[in-house]
Amino acid sequence: MNKVQRCLIVAAVAGMTGAVLPSVWSAPEPAPQAGMVIQKRAQAMVDRGLTYLKDQQKPDGSWQDTNEPPAITAIAIKAFVQDGHYKANEAFLQKALAKLLTFQKPDGSISDDNLATYNTAIAISALAETQQDRYKPQLEKALGYLRTVQWVDKIDGVPANMKVPESNPNYGGFGYGSKGARADLSNSQTALDALKDAGLKPDDPAFKAAQKFITRAQNSSETNDQKWAGDDGGFIYSVADGGASKALDYTTPDGRKIHRSYGSMTYAGLKSMIYAGLSKDDPRVKAAWKWITQNWTLEENPGIKYAEPNNPKANVDGLFYYYHTLARALHAYGQPIITDDKGVKHDWRLELIEKLNSQQASDGHWEGIQKWMENKPVLSTAYAILAIQEAQDDLKHHPAK
């Protein structure tokens, strides 16, 4: 057990018992007891967050405000049902699910006509998490819609202008849902989350096609056939039209223009590769893991600050989206310990729980900055809860040592 892990455990015990921390380290708790302490602390955070969310539910069952997307309601539903202490047949969740499904359209999408891929995918994840047969018809219909907005060449129902050969940079990716909308990794990773949550296997045609797009979104010239690809192993936002990064570009000493890799998209890329069936031994996965070890941090969404060099808060743009994506990715990867570029070992579960504990308000909510709606406490709180739940589940399978 390293010093950081011991510090977290001692702090957790003190926080739960009211004990005063000793000036000198005492012997660490046995691993099973330490893990139980952390789990209790994490669950207390989740409980406070869910209580806050329950208090914010609107009379119609939703969590979104007027003119906001139904995905906000869907992500709150998922946080409750995934917790395990709430059942989907509870009255307040039944009301929420009924409201969510009023947004389902004849084509299967679950949206308000904006951000159809995001909204439908997040709704699928919520419906799948209920594990109730009553929602299977709506779930299957939504999955059918999601298949039609993937850029591929052989799946029935795909609009003609989205049927493209494998040579097209968009191939295998998902865009915003409108016909011809270029693919991006954020939409794509959310769609692949939905496919995974709905029980689709890595050999499904959608995952097979997605491998191509994911590979092309990576700064890995060894495996990426796009001329712009760099070599740090991280991921960018979009591949179309020469590629684009939300963290902007930089110029190498030899004059090459490189799209900068950044945190949320690199974890999205790692997770998507795993869901699509790539192993830890695959060079693409190895390259992504190397970037993560060299850029490990929970203080910011690494790299994103370069998009707004004059904004001192730009480093935390999309911070709770980042935490959620990071937690799902690292849980899927199955390696609790990250060794950074200085040789320091980090148990990502313990550090993430501690970081989110430090950010939780007294009434149970979390709140980010305005970028990407994270100033909306319901959204940031749901992201935070889902991230903690990933850490909790990973701790069950790989106890802290």
pLDDT, tens only, 174-207: 999 876 679 999 999 999 999 999 999 999 999 9
Determine the Cα–Cα distance for residues 386 and 194; give it in Å rounded to an integer: 14
Q: What is the pLDDT of residues 231-242, one digit of tens each?
A: 999 999 999 999
Residue 392: helix, strand or coil by DSSP?
Answer: helix
CA distance 185 to 174: 8
Q: Give which of 235, 124, 252, 240 is closest to 174, Cα–Cα.
A: 240
Q: Which carries the bigger pLDDT value, residue 5 or residue 180?
A: 180
pTM over the 0.95 mark: no
Q: Residue 155: what pLDDT? A: 58
Residues 6+ apart with CB under 8 A from 312: none
User: What is the Cα–Cα distance from 125 to 115, expressed in whole angstroms?
Assistant: 16
Let me know the angle formed at the C-alpha of 226 by 223 and 227, rounded to the nearest 5 degrees.
110
348 pLDDT tier (thresholds 50, 70, 90):
very high
CA gap 142, 119 in Å, rounded: 10
Residue 7 has pLDDT above 70, yes or no: no
The confidence band for 254, taking pLDDT boundaries of 50, 70 and 90, is confident
Task: Find out whether 2 and 338 touch, Cβ atoms under 8 Å.
Answer: no
Q: Exposed/middle/buried for 235, CB within 10 Å: 0-12, 13-18, 19+?
A: buried
Helices (H) and strands (E) in the chain, counts: 13, 4
Report d(CA 96, CA 139) in Å as an integer.
Answer: 16
pLDDT in tens, 275-304: 999 999 999 999 999 999 999 999 999 999
pLDDT at 11: 41
DSSP element (H, E) containing 250: strand 249-251
Distance CA 151, CA 178 (A): 12
Q: For residue 120, what are the contacts with CB-CB under 8 A and spacing of at least 6?
A: 108, 109, 110, 111, 142, 145, 146, 177, 194
Residues 6+ apart with CB under 8 A from 395: 35, 38, 39, 42, 349
127 has a pLDDT exceeding 60:
yes
Would you tell me how many other CB atoms lie within 10 Å of the CB of residue 289?
17
